[in-house]
Structure 1
Amino acid sequence: MRSSNPVFSRRGFSRDAGGHAGFGAPQQAQAGTATNPYATNPYATDPATGMPQAPARGSVMTIDDVVSRTAMTLGVLAITATLSWLTLPVDPANVGKSYAIAIGAALVAFVLVIVQAFKRKPVPALILGYAAFEGVFLGVFSAIMSTYVGDGGGVIVQAVLGTICVFAGVLIAYKMGWIRVTRRFYGFVMAAAMGFMLLMLANLLFSVFAGGDGLGFRSGGLGILFGVIGVILGACFLALDFKQVEDGVTYGAPREEAWLAALGLTTTLVWIYMEMLRLFSILSGND
């Protein structure tokens, strides 16, 4: 099973045709045939013989590794977001400048994610760099939204708390077995996400050429509906992320892959926060 996150999609945590989870397991494995998860894992090859070998015990990824790397990534994001909020105030008379800073930071963050996606191994500097620039984007964009809503930052607090609640809720539901990540679940989520993103892209294009909110998917009643759908999709992405991490730990992914898990979880949380922010903004009566 391929991950929902682009950093996992090229290699790494996957499931073969028989449903066996593994790290880098061959996709062409026959159904019902057990495969060695490290059969094609470049990290598990003995340089002397060229033959696959099991990793040393200390080099295997653990939940603690994922938690610590995720905490570092989110910590960098939170620090740069806070600093951007405090040092880059939004001028209502020149809000275009703030939008330019936010868009520029978002583009740099996107490029760093793409570069990491094409790297053979996780590069912590790229991942932390992504977190830093994504934090600048979130800080400036949140300041814009707070100024636009005019509630003194209340909508930002609501979005942060909402994101935390979604994360905690999905984690509890996943650990309790209330959410089961299967091939059907994965296919449904990815199809829904593709349709959602295409609709949002169409709405953006219409808003650029026709003005206003385009097709109306991000304001009013439709905006609330699509905001809720966006949050639900984010929750589904979290479930996929948890499954990928669980498979990686169970089947012995290399310890450094915890950085990819951290990056995947961070991108999903950013998605949920942005949807929450937009949703609470509409509910506040400022759509």
Structure 2
Amino acid sequence: MAGNPLINSMTKKQGQGDPRFGRFGAGGQAQQSQQQAYGQPQYGQQAYGQQSQPQYGQAQYGQQAYGQPQYTDYSAPTYSEPTYSEPIPAGERLTMNDVLVKTAINLGLVVAGAVVAWYVPVLMILGLLGGLVLGLVNSFKQKVSPVLVMAYALMEGMMLGGLSAIVNLRYPGTAIQAVLATIVVAGVTLALFANGKIRTTPKLNKIFMIGALSYLGYGLVSMLTAGLFGFSLNSMSIGGIPLGLPIALIAVAMATYSLLIDYTTTAEAVDAGLPQSESWRLAFGLTASLVWLYVEILRVLMYLASIFSND
């Protein structure tokens, strides 16, 4: 399958291969026999000044035995020049096309689930609960399961389809706008990453983790106040602007950075030559980030529609 030139350029500057595998073939391999050094006595000959002839199969002290290589001429192989072809890990090595195909399968399942739930919005509850459970299982499962990853994508699609149908019923057109905006943001982020314009950094990763945990805490508190007191923190207004709007904008930025982390992880995994099965884990991460990005963009559009419609 031909590679995507945009995505293949993601690993262009990271080297042509994994140095762990070295150069396969005869590099650094000791020869079966070596040429005798100048002045070295051969079998059947007596060295200059020696008083006795060595017996067959024996070598005197300081004398080279027949056919035995000289230790002084032997150079130890370096790390990049193995003495023999090192074994390749079981299974084929990961490629960008593997990740692309698995991600496309997951997104296809997301769309399929969304179409069904669009006409049966009550399936949103099943998708929400199922997606939450499967998301946790796939995140902490040591060995990736393609079936569970695809089931997660289907559940997330059902959640998105029901949510989009409800929002679009009140604010027509917001669902398709959210889809288009998600495609644009994901595509622009990928293009900038592929051209080296944006990169993740340890400092930004730390800020992202703090922001994600804070956002999770905010969501839990908002759900608690809605359940106990009948109002959500998102409905509070500051200067006529719902508090949920700036929060949603920040969440869009975090979801975009999460997508950037996934791009980086994918490029590094391909460069490291991980097993092909890891493509499902990478596809799971990309799917989760895209779903998160879509939900937050949909929220932003919903708040903007409510402001301009004076709801």
- Structure 2: segments with no counterpart, 5+ residues: 1-18, 22-85
The answer to whether 1:278 aligns with 2:279 is: no
In the other structure, the counterpart of 1:144 is: 166
Identical aligned residues as a percent: 33
Residue pair 2:234, 2:243 contacting (<8 A) in 1 also:
no
**CA distance in structure 2 between the partners assigned to 1:122 and 1:218 by the alignment:** 44
| 1:84 counterpart (117, 129, 139) | 117
Residue pair 2:117, 2:124 contacting (<8 A) in 1 also:
no
> Normalized per residue, which structure has more helix?
1
Residues 243 and 218 of structure 1: is their aligned pair in 2 closer, same or farther, counting only changes over 3 Å? Answer: farther
Instruction: Measure how far apart 1:238 and its partner are.
Output: 0.7
Instruction: Measure how far apart 1:174 and its partner are.
Output: 1.1
Aligned length: 224
Residue pairs, 1:97-246, within 5 angstroms? 98=122, 101-149=123-171, 151=172, 154-214=173-233, 216=235, 220-246=241-267
The answer to whether 1:60 aligns with 2:82 is: no
In the other structure, the counterpart of 2:280 is: 259
In the other structure, the counterpart of 2:104 is: 71
SS at match of 2:232: coil
Residue pair 1:203, 1:216 contacting (<8 A) in 2 also:
no
SS at match of 2:205: helix
- Residue type matched to 2:104 in 1? A
Residues 218 and 139 of structure 1: is their aligned pair in 2 closer, same or farther, counting only changes over 3 Å? Answer: farther
What are the Cα deviations for residues 195-239 of structure 1, in whole angstroms up to 9, with x where unaligned?
A: 122122212211221212236469944222111101100110011
In the other structure, the counterpart of 1:22 is: none
- Structure 1: segments with no counterpart, 5+ residues: 1-34, 38-51, 91-97
**CA distance in structure 2 between the partners assigned to 1:176 and 1:119 by the alignment:** 33
- Residue type matched to 2:294 in 1? Y
Residue pair 2:234, 2:242 contacting (<8 A) in 1 also:
no
Report which of the two structures shows the higher radius of gyration computed on alpha carbons: 2
What's the TM-score once normalised by structure 1's chain length? 0.72
CA-based RMSD: 2.3
**CA distance in structure 2 between the partners assigned to 1:192 and 1:114 by the alignment:** 20
- Residue type matched to 2:267 in 1? E
What's the TM-score once normalised by structure 2's chain length? 0.67
Instruction: Measure how far apart 1:67 and its partner are.
Output: 0.4
- Residue type matched to 1:135 in 2? G
**CA distance in structure 2 between the partners assigned to 1:196 and 1:144 by the alignment:** 24
Instruction: Measure how far apart 1:240 and its partner are.
Output: 0.5
**CA distance in structure 2 between the partners assigned to 1:112 and 1:180 by the alignment:** 29
